[in-house]
Structures are given as structure tokens and as C-alpha cells.
Amino acid sequence: GEDPKHNNKPDAGYVPNAKTAIKIAVAVWEPIYGEKQIAEDRPYTALLTNGVWIVDGSLPKGYVVGGVAIAEIAKDDGRILRVSHGQ
């Protein structure tokens, strides 16, 4: 039968691209900040730096108060390294 330890991990890691990183970030943000708040932070951007996806939302033009959601996600294994919401 199947080896229970078998791990189908891709070479590019579990979070190979920005689209995947954003999906994970949104899934983590919504229970914390609420779906409405997170929807207001769109569009999201994901930037890969030293093997960590830094995902954040966008502020509407001319909007300075409140900040946006930020998540740092490990490209290799999908660990959530940091979540915050700028003030």
C-alpha cells in the first residue's frame, strides 16, 4: 500500500507562485480581520524575498488611515511566519 510518509512536495515548494501565496494569505486573514475588511484591501500583491512571500493589500488612493493586511509565508513549506495589519 501507500507509504504514509510519502510526501508529494514539488521542487518549487508548496507555495510556488504569487497566486498561491495570496490565496493562503487571504485564507489566514479572513478569520482574523473579517471578510469585509480583507475584501477592502484588494488588490493584493505578493513579493518573493529570500524564500518568503510577503503578501499585502492595497490602500485606496488618497487613503492614509488604517493600513492593510500583511502576511509572510514560507515558499518552501507554506508556514505562516507573520501576520499583521498596518495601523
Q: Model pTM?
A: 0.85
pLDDT tens figures, 26-57: 999 999 999 998 998 999 999 999 999 999 99
Single-letter amino acid, residue 15: V
Q: Residue 34: its pLDDT value, please?
A: 94
29: cell is 486573514
Single-letter amino acid, residue 27: A
- Rounded to the nearest 5°, which phi and psi values hold at 45? -125, 150
